[in-house]
Amino acid sequence: MKKIFVICTILMFLLFIVGCAKAPTTEQLQKVEEVKREVASVPSVPNALVITTFESGKEEGWTARGDNVKILVTDKEAHTGKYSLYVSGRSNGWHGAQIQLKDILKPGKVYSISVWVMQKSGSSQYLGLTMQRKYDTDSNTQYDWIKHENNVPSGKWVELSGTYEIPANVSILDLTLYVEAPSNTTLDFYIDDLVIVEGKTGFRITPELYELVAKNIK
Ligand SMILES: [Ca+2]
């Protein structure tokens, strides 16, 4: 139980420090450094670099992907807490929501990424988590699938997760993580609880864990 409490305390810290950040600015990177120093003293806690829960009421670094696409922090649905990010106005498979990671992730490292998605179309849908990347060694922009799920049921939060490895000795020109719905160009969907940790062992936010954290805040 003590271990769980320590993890929750650190997670609470992460939720407030990193989760409230906006774009990956110098200010955010400084906050990330603060978080890294904090978690370094607890080896069992994953080395979280990015957490977005939308509980700040802001987009937390996410932007719309595609012309006329809209993103909105909403309290109509949430995987945990009160808020999630609602994506609408899509007109292409690759349209969706994205977050820029080029100043946060580093060459020669492997990362585990977890995000939760939900759609309410009334039928199962195909949703994907993809990395748009360009290294100095790439002649063109590349698109790496991290996790694509064919059957995301209507009305149910589903985790998209996987690992992403960046070669050593490259310069990162672009590294944009995004959620898309490749086969349904007009699908609206919701996103919540992105967590990126260094290493191959993933970390996910669950409603149970969130509740535990919420109790510790009081
Ligand atoms: Ca949330």
Give 185-204 pLDDT, tens digit per residue. Answer: 999 999 999 999 999 988 88
The predicted-structure confidence for 55-103, as pLDDT tens digits, reads as follows 999 999 999 999 999 999 999 999 999 999 999 999 999 999 999 999 9
Most confident of 7-16, 33-42, 52-61: 52-61
Residue ranges making up the domain that contains 129: 2-217
Give how many domains the chain has, as a whole number: 1
Residue 167 CA to ligand 1 center (angstroms) comes to 32
Residues across the chain? 218
CA–centroid distance, 205 to ligand 1, in Å, is 10
Rounded to 5°, angle at Cα 51 from 197 and 79: 115
Distance 68 CA to ligand 1 centre (A): 24
Question: Which residues are 178's β-sheet partners?
Answer: 98, 130
Query: At 58, which CATH number?
Result: 2.60.120.260
Ligand 1 center–CA 42 separation, angstroms: 25
Ligand 1 centroid to 120 CA: how many Å? 17
Confidence of residue 25 (pLDDT cuts 50, 70, 90): confident
Mean residue pLDDT across the chain: 85
41: pLDDT strictly greater than 80: no
Helix, coil or strand: residue 74: strand
Give the closest residue to 112 by CA, choosing from 158, 61, 59, 177.
177
Ligand 1: centre distance to CA 3 (Å): 24
H or E element at residue 151: strand 142-152
Distance 123 CA to ligand 1 centre (A): 23
- DSSP secondary-structure letter at 106? -
Q: Which residues contact 105 (CB under 8 A, 6 or more apart)?
A: 49, 111, 164, 166, 172, 175, 196
